[in-house]
Structure 1
Amino acid sequence: MSLRPKATRRTAALASALTLGLTLAACGGDTDPGDTATGGTDGATEAAIDCGIFEQAPFDQFGDIDGKTVTLYTGIVTPEDAPYQEAFKAFEDCTGATVEYEGDKAFETQVLVRARAGNAPDIAIVPQPGLLAQLVETGSVVAAPEAASKNVDEYWGEDWKAYGTVDGTFYAPPNSANVKSLVWYSPAEFEEAGYEIPTTLDELKALSDKMVADGKTPWCAGISSGEATGWPVTDWMEDFMLRTAGPEAYDKWVAHEIPFNGPEATAALDAAGEYLKNAEYVNGGFGDVKSIATTTFQDAGLPILDGACSLHRQASFYAANWPEGTTVAEDGDVFAFYLPGETADEKPVLGGGEFITAFADRPEVQAFQTYLTTPEYANLRASLSPSGGWVSANKELDASKLTSPIDQLSAEILQDPNAVFRFDGSDMMPAAIGSNEFWKQSTNWITGTSTTDALNAIEAAWPAS
C-alpha cells in the first residue's frame, strides 16, 4: 500500500497522538481506582504513530488509497463512539484515506432498509449473526477479502469465523466481544464469610445453599426491560443449555434441528429454575420469585451493595450499571466470577459480539476491513477505553492494555484455551422467537407458567420456514 510522504505522515500522526493524549487526560479525572487513563495513554500514543503495519503485506495489495473515503454505519452513538473514531485515526493518518462515521440508534432496522434500497454504507458494524444473514439475503453484502480472512484464521477461534459465515461464504470478521457467563458478587462479603469462588456447577449450588444456611437470600434477579422484558431469562437458559446439554446440542437447538421443547431444553430451563424459581434463593432485596418480572435488569444486581443479596448473573456490560463511585475490581465493592461448567475443566462461554460487514469491495474498503482484523487495531482500541467497556476475542489482544478489571476478566475467559464460545442463542433465532415468543414465555415462566407449557408455546410459535 502506498503511504503519504513520511514527513507528512509523521506530522499528522503526531498531531493525532497529541490530540489522543489530551482526550485521555481529560477523561482521567472521573475514572474509578484502577481504571485510570494513565496506563492506556502511552500505549495508544505509541500505536497511533506506528505506520509500520501498513508498509507490510498484506496491505500492499490494496494499492494507493490516499484521498479515498470509506463510509461506516453503526448503532454506536455519542459518547460511546469516541473511542471507535479515535482508533480509526491510525488508518487515516497512515494511508491518507478518510473514514466517515455514522452512528444511528435505529441502526438494526435502518441498515436493512438501506441495504434493500441499494443505499448501503461501505461497512456496517453488525451486532448479530442473524442480522448478518438477513443482510446477505439482500444480495448487497460482499465477501471478506482474503487478507482479512487469513487474519481471522490466525487471531480468532473457528467459532468466531463461523458466526461471520453464511451459506459457506465468509463475509464478516469479528470486532468486539462480550461475555455473558458471569456472576456478580461482593469480594468483601466473600472474604468475611469465608466463601470461595465456585469452579463447578455443584460448587455453585453448594455455595447458594451455604448462603441460605447463613440466613441470606443468595440471588437477586430482574427481567423487566420494556418491550424486551424477559430477555435475561433467555440468557440464563442458554447458559445452562451450554452446560447441561453441551455445545453441539446447543447449536442444534438454536438452529431448530432439535425441538425447542425437547428433553435437552427442558433440562436446561429446569436447571435455571433451580435458582430463579427457588423461593429460598430469590429475590434478595426485592421480594418473592414473581418480583423478578417487575424488577428492571438495570436495578437487579444493586442489592449486592447493601448485602440484601449476594449473587447476580449478568453480562460484562453490567459494569456500567453500578452507581457512580462503585469500585468494580477483585478487591473492590463488586466484581464477577465465571459461571462455571459441570467440571472445572469445561469452559463453555455464552456471549455476544459485533461483525464487520462490507457492502463494497473497493480497495480502500477492503483495506479498512482488513485493518480492523489486526492485533494492532485491537490493542489500540483497548488503549482508547480508559473507563473500560470494550474487549476483543483477538488472541493477540494484550490484556495489559485493558484498564478495566472486568474487561481483563472477560479477556481472560475468552482467551482461555479451554473456552468454547457460543453466541447468544436468541440473537440467532428467527425474530418471531428470539425477540418475541422466547421473551414472552420467559416472563410467563417466572410468574407461574410451567417449564413444559412455556417451552411448548415457544415450539408452537417457531416459523414453518
Structure 2
Amino acid sequence: MFVQRGSSRSRVALAGALSVGLVFGLSACGDSDDDTGADTGASAAAIDCSPYTAFGDLKGKTVTIYTGIVTPEDTPHKESYVPFEKCTGVTVKYEGDKAFETQILVRAEAGNPPDIAYVPQPGLLQNLVKTGKAVEAPPEVAANVDKFWGPDWKAYGTVDGKFYAAPLGANVKSLVWYSPKEFADKGYQIPTTLDELKALSDKIVADGGKPWCAGIASGEATGWPVTDWMEDFMLRLSGAEAYDKWVKHEIPFNGPEATQALDGVGAYLKNDQYVNGGLGDIKSIASTTFQDAGLPILEGQCSLHRQASFYAANFPAGTKVAKDGDVYAFYLPGKDATSKPVLGGGEFVLAFSDRPEVKAFQTYLSSDVWANTKAKLSSGWVSANKGLDPANLTNPIDQLSASILQDPNAQFRFDGSDMMPGAVGANSFWKQATAWIIGQDTKTTLDNIEKSWPK
C-alpha cells in the first residue's frame, strides 16, 4: 500500500499511483447485487466465519474506521470488508480524511477516537499510544502477526514492549526501473549484488550509453528522492542495526556510516559518466521532476532509474509494465546475493476500543483471508502478509513487490526521513540533499543536517 504522509512529498508522489489503482480496482469488481451497493465479486466469495464466533453474537454492532485513505482509493477497502460483515452482521463505517494525521491526535487526546485508525508511520503510532487511549491488540491478532509477518513488522507495531498494531498494507522503495527489451537486446543481466550493479553501469557506459536518469524536483519537498537513495545505501553498506541507530539519532547523522552511504550514492548520482541520461548534466537532477525522471528509459536515453513501486503510475497510458513489457523493475541488490534489505512504508491497524466486534474486525484485517480478498480488488496495493498469494495481485509490479516483501531473508525498514523529526526528515535532509546534488560536498551536507537535529 502507501504511506499517507502530510507532506507534499507523499501527496504528489502517490497521487498518480493511487489513480491507477482505482482503474484496476474497479475492473476487478462485479456489479452490485445488493441494495446497499456494496456487494462485489470479493464479497460473493464464501469465507470461513469460524474465527469470529469466539467473539460472540455481533449482529447489529458497528465498527468505525478513520484513515487518510480517501475517495476514490477507499472503494476497494470498503468492498474488502463485505465478507466480514456478512459473516458477523457487523456494519463497518469508514471515514477517510486528508487531514487524518493531525486530526487523529486531536481526536485521541480529546477522548473521541474512532474504534480503529490506519496509522501510516511508526512515530505517529507511538504518539497515539502515548495519549493513553489506544488499546493493545488482542491475542488473536498477535497470533496472526506471528504467523503471517516477520519480526521486523511486529516490532513497528510494538510500543514499550507491548504489541498494539498489526500491519496492513506496504510499499517497496528498493527498486530499479529498466527496459526489458534493452536488456535482452544488449545481453545485460539483472544484478544480484551492489558490485554487479556498478559493473552493469560501467558496461552501459562502455557501450556508449548513460546508465542512470534521476530527478528530485517535487515543489516544497524537492530533494526527497535523494533521501531514499541514501537510506537504501545506509541499509546496504552498514546494515539494519546501524540504520535504526541513525534514524533514532543514536549515532550522528554525519558519522562514518552516513558518510559512506552518501558517498555511495554519489558514485552514481554525481558521476557525470552515469547521469543524467536524456535530461542533462548532474545539476539537471535538481530541476527535473521526480515524475519525469524515469521516462527517458522508454526512449532509450537512459537504462536505469531508482524509484519506488508507485512510480509505475508515471509512465504514459499504454505503457506495458511487465517482465516482457516496455518497462519493468528489479530489486536494488544488497552487498551480497543473500542479504535482502528492503526500504519502504506501510500502515498499521491501531484500535481505541476492546469491544468484541472491534477485536473481531482486527482479527479479520490481520488474516491471510483479508489480504487475499483485498488483493483481488485493487491494483497498486500489496502487503507483507506471508499468507498473500501473489497470484491474486492484479499487476506485475505488485507481484514483484510481494515477492520481495515475502522473501525469508528480507529485512524491512521504514523510510528513515518519515521517522525523523520534521525539522530534519521533512526539511534539512531534503534541502541539504538538493544542495549536495548541485555541488555541495558530502561533509558540509551531513554536518548541516546534523546541526539541524532538535536538541
Q: Under a length normalisation based on structure 1, what TM-score does the superposition of the two structures give?
A: 0.88
Give 3-state SS (helix, strand or coil) of 1:64's partner. coil
Task: Provide, for residues 305-347 of structure 1, a one-character-per-residue CA deviation record: whole Å limited to 9, x for no partner.
Answer: 1111110000111111111111100000100001011111111
Task: Compute the displacement of 1:47 (Å).
Answer: 6.6
Show the 5 A alignment for 1:270-281.
Answer: 270-281=263-274
Is the aligned partner of 1:417 residue 2:411? no
* 1:317 equivalenced with 2:310 (yes/no): yes
The aligned counterpart of 2:422 is 431
Is 1:114 aligned to 2:107, yes or no? yes
Q: Structure 2 matches for 1:194-209, cutoff 5 A? A: 194-209=187-202
Shift of 1:113: 2.1
Aligned to 2:33: none
Map Cα deviations across residues 260-301 of structure 1 (whole Å, 9 max, x no partner): 111011000100111111111111121111111111111111
C-alpha deviation, 1:60, in angstroms: 2.9
Identify if the C-alpha distance between structure 1 residues 131 and 30 changes in structure 2 by more than 3 Å, giving closer, same or farther.
closer
Q: 1:159 to 1:324 in 2, by over 3 A?
A: same
Q: 1:101 — aligned with what? A: 94
Distance across 2 between alignment mates of 1:284 and 1:161: 41
Normalised to the residue count of structure 2, the TM-score between the two structures is: 0.90
Which residue, 206, 226, 236 being the options, matches 1:233? 226
The verdict on how the C-alpha distance between 1:28 and 1:126 changes in structure 2, with shifts beyond 3 A counting, is: closer
Aligned residue runs from structure 1 range 47-126, under 5 A: 48-52=44-48, 54-56=49-51, 59-126=52-119
- Among 429, 433, 455, which residue is 2:446 paired with? 455
CA contact (8 A) 2:28 2:41 kept: no
Asked whether the equivalents of residues 42 and 377 of structure 2 are also in contact (C-alpha less than 8 Å), the reply is no
Amino acid at match of 1:297: F
Equivalence map 1:259-338=2 (5 Å): 259-338=252-331
Structure 2 spans left out of the alignment, 5+ residues:
1-19, 31-39
Amino acid at match of 2:50: E
Deviation at 1:30, TM superposition (A): 7.0
| Structure 2 contact 29–377 (Cα < 8 Å) conserved | no
Is the 1:185–1:310 Cα contact (8 Å) retained in structure 2? yes
Q: Distance in 2 between matches of 1:276 and 1:412?
A: 28
Judge conservation of contact 2:68–2:99 (CA < 8 Å) in 1.
yes
Letter in 1 for 2:46: D
| Structure 1 position 351, deviation (Å) | 1.1
Task: Please list, as runs of the form range in 1=range in 2, the aligned pairs for 1:330-349 lying within 5 A after superposition.
Answer: 330-349=323-342
Q: 1:462 to 1:28 in 2, by over 3 A?
A: closer
Unaligned runs of at least 5 residues, structure 1: 1-26
Aligned to 1:355: 348
Residue in 1 aligned with 2:397? 406
Aligned to 1:11: none
**Stretch deviating more after TM superposition (103-112 or 87-96):** 103-112
2:164 match: 171
Q: What does residue 397 of structure 1 align with? A: 388
Structure 1's 220 and 372: CA in aligned 2 closer, same or farther, altered over 3 A?
A: same
* Amino acid paired to 1:438: F
- How many Å apart are 1:190 and its aligned residue? 0.8
1:218 aligns with 2:211: yes
Q: Distance in 2 between matches of 1:121 and 1:357?
A: 10
Deviation at 1:51, TM superposition (A): 3.8
Change (3 A) 1:286 1:46: closer
In the alignment, is the contact (CA less than 8 A) between 1:28 and 1:37 conserved in 2? no
CA distance in 2, matches of 1:187, 1:38: 31
Give the residue type in structure 2 aligned to 1:292.
I
Code of the aligned partner of 2:410: A
**What's the secondary structure of 1:288's corresponding residue?**
coil
The 2-side partners of 1:332 and 1:415 are apart by 24
Partners of 1:28 and 1:36 within 8 A in 2: no
- Deviation of 1:121 (Å): 1.3
For residue 203 of structure 2, give the secondary structure of its aligned residue in structure 1: helix
Match of 1:256 among 237, 249, 270: 249
SS in 2 for 1:427: coil
1:401-441 CA distance string (max 9 Å, x none) = 01200111111111111111111111111222111221121
Alignment of 1:135 onto 2:131: no
Q: CA deviation at 1:76?
A: 1.1
The equivalent residue for 1:370 is 363
Change in 2 beyond 3 A, CA 1:250/1:30:
closer
> 2:29, 2:41 within 8 Å by CA — same for their partners in 1?
no
Q: What residue in structure 1 maps to residue 437 of structure 2?
A: 446
Equivalences, count: 428
Between the aligned partners of 1:212 and 1:121, the Cα distance in structure 2 is 55
Aligned CA distance change for structure 1 residues 85 and 30 (closer, same or farther; 3 Å): closer
Measured in 2, the distance between the counterparts of 1:314 and 1:29 equals 21
1:61 CA drift (Å): 3.0
